[in-house]
Amino acid sequence: MSDKLAVPALAKAPITLEDLRHKALRIRDEVKGEVEEQVNDRRNQIIIVGVVAVFAVVGLAYLAGSIAGRRAATPPAEY
């Protein structure tokens, strides 16, 4: 039973400062890539919202103009 509780000898070499530095640099590069993707996605969303807003304003202006044009083209009703 005491054999099961024995801690096996560590076969791996200890972690060095260089190992940690390389891992930190790799993680930093991955995070930078993800942040750049998020920024690009956000920029695309802003551009799309802007284009949709412009189309909405142009559509409303056309609608208002066509309603005003119809009112101006029809003569007023006589009483």
Asked whether residue 78 is domain-assigned, the answer is no
Predicted confidence at residue 62, as pLDDT, reads 95
| Domain span at 55 | 16-71
Asked whether residue 6 is domain-assigned, the answer is no
CA dist., res. 44 & res. 47, Å (int): 5
Asked whether residue 50 is domain-assigned, the answer is yes
Asked whether residue 58 is domain-assigned, the answer is yes
Asked whether residue 60 is domain-assigned, the answer is yes
- Predicted confidence (pLDDT) per residue in 3-48, tens digit: 566 655 556 788 899 999 999 999 999 999 999 999 999 999 999 9
Q: Is the pTM of this model over 0.85?
A: no
